[in-house]
Amino acid sequence: MEFFLNGGTALTEDELAAVGDVHGRRVLQLACSVGDEALMFAQRGAAVTAVDIAPAHLMTGRAKAEALGVDVAFIEQDMTRLDPEITGFDVIYISWGGICWVPDITEWMQLVADRLNPGGVLVISEHHPLWEILTVRGENALSVNGDYFDNGRDGYADPLKAPQITQTIGTPDVPHRSFVWSISSIVTGVLAAGLTLRSLQEYAESEMYPGLGEQAMHIPGTYLLTASR
Ligand SMILES: C[S@@+](CC[C@H](N)C(=O)[O-])C[C@H]1O[C@@H](n2cnc3c(N)ncnc32)[C@H](O)[C@@H]1O
């Protein structure tokens, strides 16, 4: 709370640039969790709708919004089946650990594209799919624990990452089944939905590969994609 009250932001400079000026714009955050980013958009003057499937997370988000005195519509929704009235957005945003819950990227991209206003932007700031399938075994040692080319075929539960993810999400009622969406499947989904790809960046994030050493800076940890309707 102190962080937010002192003007802190849950977004990086590049994410802020991708989203653009949100003042007076309608923003939808998907898989918003406890709402940190949604609150930040609201603090910057956006009309924000934030959806998540976990009621406990939404309650936390609402409590934070009340304490901060900002208005965010926290709505319990499955982001793969949004109600028809959740539409007409200038920005749709999803980040960190959201896309891995989508079982069909083509269908989902179309659903998202349909909820954007003409000229509206989709911003995805996510864990890199390569990171999803790699596990650090020691300095400069990685093992492959998933299939980069799975593209939603089976989904998987990494035995090393799953307990950590379940702990983070804290919702045993949402079964953990991750889907790996390769960069090419994401781009293809964007284009198939009729969106225009504006930018795609990949970033090294050494803290995502703890114990790997310097080599962590030579592989991608995250990506940031912007597309417009
Ligand atoms: C790792 S968290 C996202 C964290 C968020 N990006 C942030 O930085 O605060 C993933 C969220 O996805 C939500 N989730 C999982 N499946 C979902 C679905 N089908 N529809 C909506 N939310 C979903 C979970 O409840 C959880 O809050």
> What would the pLDDT profile of 77-136 be if each residue is shown by its tens digit?
999 999 999 999 999 999 998 998 898 999 999 999 999 999 999 999 999 999 999 999
Distance from Cα 98 to the centre of ligand 1, integer Å:
5
Distance from Cα 51 to the centre of ligand 1, integer Å:
9
Phi-psi region of 14 (alpha: psi -120 to 50; beta: other; left: phi over 0): alpha
- Residue 166's pLDDT is what? 53
pTM value is 0.93
Q: Is the pLDDT of residue 163 over 60?
A: no
Whether 54 lines ligand 1, by a CB cut-off of 6 Å, is yes
Print burial letters for 181-191: b (CB count within 10 Å at least 16), e (below 16): bbbebbebbbe
Average pLDDT, the chain: 90
Whether 53 lines ligand 1, by a CB cut-off of 6 Å, is yes
Query: Is-contact 12 75, C-beta < 8 A?
Result: no
Distance from Cα 62 to the centre of ligand 1, integer Å:
15
Q: Is the pLDDT of residue 164 over 60?
A: no
- Residue 160's pLDDT is what? 52
Q: CA-CA distance, 61 to 58, in Å (whole number)?
A: 5
Q: Computed over its alpha carbons, how large is the radius of gyration of the chain?
A: 17
Whether 33 lines ligand 1, by a CB cut-off of 6 Å, is yes
% of residues, the chain, pLDDT over 90: 77
Pairing assessment for the beta strands 222-228 and 196-203 based on DSSP bridges: antiparallel
Whether 36 lines ligand 1, by a CB cut-off of 6 Å, is yes
The CATH number of 2-228 is 3.40.50.150
Closest CA to 115 of 139, 152, 144, 81: 81
